[in-house]
Chain A
Amino acid sequence: MTVLDKFLAGDQSALARIISFIEDREDGYQDLLARLYPKAGTAVRVGFTGPPGAGKSSLVNCLTKLLHSRGKRVSIIAVDPSSPFTGGALLGDRIRLTDLPMDGTIYVRSMATRGSSGGLAAATNNVAIALDAFGFDYILIETVGVGQVELDIVDTCDAVVVTLVPESGDAIQALKAGLMEIADIFAVNKADRPGSKNIIAALEMMLDIKSHKSEWKYPVVPTEAINNKNIDVLFDKIDAFIEYSVRTGYFENHRREQIKKKIISILQYRLNELVKDRLTGMADLDGMVLEIYNGQSDPYTVSDRLFEMSRVK
């Protein structure tokens, strides 16, 4: 019996092993994904992003328990950063995910970014395919703590919850590009703290302008993960967004767009590898570097020459 056979029989150890295989890009991982893709496509993917310490893990924890109580099978991918210096990582999201039921209907996987800078790991998308193929109803994906421009979550999820706290800033911060643009739903967590009314008002003003152009009325949900407060409201909004999204065709278009981007990124990756391969085989690269250093050429001219020489025929 292979690991894939056990996976298909519903064995979580096999799922865990398969995820490592994909994450480590072991030989044959593409063939494995080719087997998994046809079985995926039914799980709903919800992304949670926002600044460090906003309460993403705690909200995911509360939401998972709510979904579990409604008989749903839930998996969580929790991403934390890898060190750019040592490659090591401290994955601490499980600290907030401790009291989840252990009846086999919930699966949690911590992932390190391993060099990616968009808030997720390069393999997160592929890991979600494995979870989807395994049969989970929901995949909750939590990014690293982000600033304003780490937005890979949009290309991985069907709905995005941006989690903020009362200290997250004023009306001008709410108008800025990037993070504020990708939310389908806002959660203002730690809403019992002073200042929560101000940030909710600032967000609602910004969203009021945005909602004029869209049928979807972007909600702002005040939550208190620590007191398990308003989690049901948050879920209702997520559910309403998915329903709206399916009904208007946005859901399908978005997924098609994600597939297109995925193909492009695979091609880019392969071209990258190809360029590296060909370049290492070129003896005169150091000579060209010297030409540039001595002022006899420039990086653009040299790249043109190399491109001509290595062109895929």
Chain B
Amino acid sequence: MSEKIRVLLAKPGLDGHDRGIKVIATAFRDAGFEVIYTGLRQTPEMIVNAAIQEDVDAVGVSILSGAHMTLFPAIKRLLVDRKAGHIILFGGGIIPEEDVKALEAQGIDKLFTPGATTEETVAFVRKAVAGRKDNEKIM
């Protein structure tokens, strides 16, 4: 019946700047998504554990601390290790262009930098999720 898109939004590490992720959470909510917001100071393990339990379609991570080259690959690796590599991983933050390229090459689906609009972000996730297909038989 309903095919609600579920998105987990999280902030990893010791970064308390959560204004951005709250704006994003509100934008996704207003676009009709179910947003699971985990709050601050999450480890990659906590984020991936929550993503699996909540059976989300996408995980969005906000990093403003400069630790993006460590945290994004760590989250991606854990998702793959736990057979949840199908979950879209996107993020945002103050990330230099060469780092964006490097991370996207490592399988992070999309990174948004300052100036990106909420509409772009929502449209990206909607499209990315629609492109997937779940072939596993339930019973």
Question: Which chain A residues have a beta carbon within 8 Å of chain B's beta carbons?
Answer: 2-4, 12-13, 16-21, 24-26, 28, 31-32, 35, 82-83, 86-92, 94-95, 98, 102, 107-110, 112, 114
Contact = CB atoms under 8 A, between A and B. Distances in A.
Nearest to B29: A88
Contact of A24 (B3, B38, B54): B3
Chain B CB within 10 A, most for which of A19, A88, A89: A88
Contact of B46 (A18, A19, A102): A102
Contacts of A108: 50, 53-54
A3 B37 CA distance: 27
Interface residues of B, number: 36
B10 to A, nearest CB: 9
Contacts of B50: 94, 108
Given A2-B138, A3-B139, A109-B54, A88 B36 contact: no
B90 to A, nearest CB: 18
B139 A35 contact: yes
16 contacts: A2-B137, A13-B55, A13-B83, A16-B55, A17-B138, A20-B6, A24-B2, A24-B3, A35-B139, A83-B29, A86-B29, A91-B37, A98-B38, A112-B34, A114-B2, A114-B4
Among all A-B residue pairs, the 5 with the closest Cβ atoms: A95-B39, A16-B55, A88-B29, A4-B139, A25-B1
- Among A19, A20, A35, A94, the one with the most B-chain Cβ atoms within 10 Å of its Cβ is A94
B139 A28 contact: yes
A223 to B, nearest CB: 22
Contacts of B28: 88
Contact of B29 (A17, A24, A89): A89
A3 B1 contact: no
A95 B42 CA distance: 10
